[in-house]
């Protein structure tokens, strides 16, 4: 029988099988014959402990009842000397007392009932090794974070007088490290998020939209006071929403969604479900998986995969759908041509009540106009104004281009009265209106 493909995730794992009955050992070895594990065997507890001293063993499967040292005692001693080694008990249904003892003394990962099913046995071993691998990675990341915090503290002590200009940047890094450390202590959520972000880097550069989508949902959550759990699930969904696209070939990845037909269109529509499926085994990402599944639903029920309508669509999915469409429109991932930012906002507003939750859509568009979190301008006192509201001394924080793409004004330009008047005359000549992102001179408050 062909083993599960997932077993290949742990090709270097060393297993120790302990049983006083040679027939049982041979049966276990046959079940694992096609698995990429190094398998050791022992006939009793003393021999097993000797092998533990001589080899780096990742997982032990021990029979419950053996002459001399019973399985519970053996696993208890292994737990004391090699706590990182995963421990499983092989037991008959009548051995409840021994099973309870193994759970209490040996802190076993699972027990396997005799007679076992080979497929279930292989799956249990895979899960145990995956759990062990995740725990080791969590510990490594915690150690790395502590080391980075120590290094950062030393740098602050020795360089504070000379790095005043970089204080803000260093503080942001310190805050991120502190947050990551706290999250790692509470759960595996942050570790899972880091791994998933690394996976998304395999996408072509122009399709790596996650960072901007994350910035948008974070800014919305902060502005509208969403609670911590909702914000956490939303942020994770923004980081992972296109996980299902990793199963596509390059041709499908690079094609605008509105230009897909027939089988390609159906494959595209499956990516939210694929993304949810990849996260189903992670209980703590259940809410995140639901947001990802439904972020392509539409307010009027024309979306997919479940054709939910109105408030049947989870709130987080409605918000994520707005953020994703806003960014992907600008990247040319939905229509054949890239949509300018202002035109993308206008299109979202136009589709409110049909494609998007109308109230949520208006709040989202307002956030993008007033704060522009997707441009990395949050926290800089930025105003979004038309030319009639410009005042001398305002400083441009984003390049201004004409409708034809010509650069009109560079980022960092201080606006004078004459420059504002020339810009207004140019608008009249071109019969258009421009929106500028500006900040006031240092020291002037932003209303």
Q: What is the pLDDT of residue 54?
A: 94
Q: Are 444 and 394 in contact (CB under 8 A)?
A: no
Beta bridge partners of 112: 90
**46-54: long-range contacts (C-beta < 8 A, 24 or more apart)?**
47/18, 48/16, 48/18, 48/74, 48/78, 49/74, 49/77, 49/78, 51/16, 52/16, 52/78, 52/81, 52/82, 52/85
Q: What is the pLDDT of residue 371?
A: 80
For residue 410, CA distances in Å to 13, 356, 368 come to 58, 35, 21
Q: Are 35 and 3 in contact (CB under 8 A)?
A: yes
Torsion of CA 67, 73, 78, 79, to 10 degrees: 160
pTM score over 0.75? no
Residue whose C-alpha is closest to residue 1's, from 119, 121, 124: 119
Q: What is the pLDDT of residue 4?
A: 41
- Is 12 in a helix, a strand, or coil? coil
Please state, as a whole number, how many other Cβ atoms lie within 10 Å of the Cβ of residue 266.
11
Domains and CATH numbers, the chain: 5-132 (3.40.50.2300), 204-375 (1.10.3210.10), 382-439 (3.90.105)
Please state, as a whole number, how many other Cβ atoms lie within 10 Å of the Cβ of residue 166.
11
Residue written as tokens 């800089």? Answer: 380
Torsion of CA 298, 302, 306, 312, to 10 degrees: 50
pLDDT 10s digit of each residue in the chain, 447 long? 444 443 444 557 999 999 999 999 999 999 999 888 999 999 999 999 999 999 999 999 999 888 889 888 898 899 899 998 999 988 875 566 656 665 655 577 788 888 889 998 899 899 989 888 888 889 899 989 888 888 887 777 776 656 565 666 667 766 766 665 555 445 545 544 565 555 566 677 777 888 889 889 999 999 999 998 899 889 889 988 888 887 777 777 777 777 677 788 888 889 899 889 888 877 778 899 999 999 999 999 999 999 999 999 999 999 999 999 999 898 888 887 888 888 999 999 999 999 999 999 999 999 988 787 887 665 556 777 888 889 999 998 888 888 777 888 888 899 999 999 999 999 898 888 888 888 887 645 444
Residue whose C-alpha is closest to residue 75's, from 114, 42, 107: 107
For residue 115, cis peptide bond before it (omega within 30 degrees of 0): yes
What does the DSSP assignment read for 295-364? TT--TTS--SSS---GGGS-HHHHHHHHHHHHHHHHTTSSSSSPPPHHHHHHHHHHHBTTTB-HHHHHHH
């Amino acid at each position: 029988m062909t083993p599960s493909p997932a077993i290949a995730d742990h090709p270097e794992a060393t297993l120790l099988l302990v049983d006083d009955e040679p027939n049982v050992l041979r049966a276990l070895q046959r079940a694992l014959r096609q698995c990429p594990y190094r398998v050791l065997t022992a006939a009793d507890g003393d021999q097993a402990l000797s092998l533990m001293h001589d080899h780096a063993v990742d997982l032990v499967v021990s029979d419950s009842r053996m002459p001399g040292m019973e399985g519970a005692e053996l696993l208890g001693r292994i737990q004391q000397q090699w706590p990182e080694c995963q421990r499983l008990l092989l037991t008959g249904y009548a051995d409840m007392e021994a099973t309870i003892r193994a759970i209490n003394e040996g802190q076993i990962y699972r027990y396997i009932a005799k007679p076992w099913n080979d497929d279930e046995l292989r799956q249990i071993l895979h899960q145990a090794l995956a759990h062990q691998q995740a725990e080791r990675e969590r510990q490594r990341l915690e150690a790395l974070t502590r080391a980075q915090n120590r290094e950062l503290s030393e740098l602050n002590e020795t360089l504070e007088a000379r790095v005043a200009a970089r204080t803000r940047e260093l503080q942001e890094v310190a805050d991120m490290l502190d947050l990551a450390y706290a999250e790692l202590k509470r759960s595996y959520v942050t570790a899972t998020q880091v791994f998933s972000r690394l996976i998304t880097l395999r996408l072509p550069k122009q399709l790596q939209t996650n960072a901007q989508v994350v910035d948008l949902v974070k800014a919305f959550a902060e502005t509208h006071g969403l609670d911590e759990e909702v914000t956490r699930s939303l942020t994770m969904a923004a980081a992972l929403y296109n996980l299902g696209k990793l199963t596509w070939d390059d041709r499908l990845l690079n094609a605008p969604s509105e230009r897909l037909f027939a089988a390609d269109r159906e494959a595209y529509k499956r990516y939210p479900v694929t993304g949810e499926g990849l996260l189903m085994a992670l209980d703590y990402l259940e809410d995140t998986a639901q947001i990802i599944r439904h972020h392509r639903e539409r307010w009027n029920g024309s979306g997919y995969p479940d054709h939910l309508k109105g408030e049947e669509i989870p709130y987080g999915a409605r918000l994520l759908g707005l953020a994703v469409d806003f960014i992907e429109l600008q990247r040319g991932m939905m229509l054949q041509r890239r949509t300018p930012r202002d035109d993308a906002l206008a299109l979202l507003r136009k589709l409110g009540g049909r494609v998007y939750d109308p109230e949520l859509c208006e709040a989202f568009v307002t956030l993008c106009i007033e704060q522009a979190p997707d441009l990395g301008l949050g926290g800089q006192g930025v105003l979004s104004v038309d030319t009639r509201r410009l005042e001398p001394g305002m400083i441009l924080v984003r390049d201004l281009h004409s409708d034809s793409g010509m650069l009109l004004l560079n980022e960092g330009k201080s606006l004078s009265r004459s420059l504002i008047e020339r810009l207004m005359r140019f608008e009249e000549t071109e019969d258009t209106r421009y929106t500028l992102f500006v900040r006031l001179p240092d020291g002037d408050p932003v209303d």
